[in-house]
Amino acid sequence: MLSTDMKEGLEKKIRMDVEPQTVKLFLSYMYKGTVDADDFNSCAFDLLQLGKMYEIDTLHTFCENFIASNVTSDSVAEVYKIAKLMESKNLMDACKAYFKRYAHVKKNVSSHYK
């Protein structure tokens, strides 16, 4: 990228529209192949996008698997939105599985309040 005639190559700079903590984790992954689990949770969506943007398949897959295995009632809408935006079958399947697994809860709650 920096050795091409693209804007980044001409300016010798790469502009990343992400938080500094996310860049730190991104670079940690690039150099060490791992990220600190405590910090990862808050940056997983951004790292997923960086993995896709820079075609780092291992990071992208790592983030997808992490997010898919941590879908909750608080995150399912955001995960679904990201899945649609990024055309991620893995995340879409995780949301569908979550909805399927907890569909009976909505029915039970709805019938209780009729």
For 7-66, write each residue's pLDDT tens digit.
555 565 666 677 888 888 999 899 998 887 777 888 899 999 999 988 999 999 999 999
Is residue 99 scored above 80 in pLDDT? yes
Give the predicted TM-score (pTM) of the model: 0.74
Per domain, the residue ranges of the chain are 1-70, 72-114
Which 8-state DSSP code applies to residue 29?
H
Q: What type of residue sits at position 98?
A: Y
Nearest-angstrom CA–CA distance, 73 and 77:
8
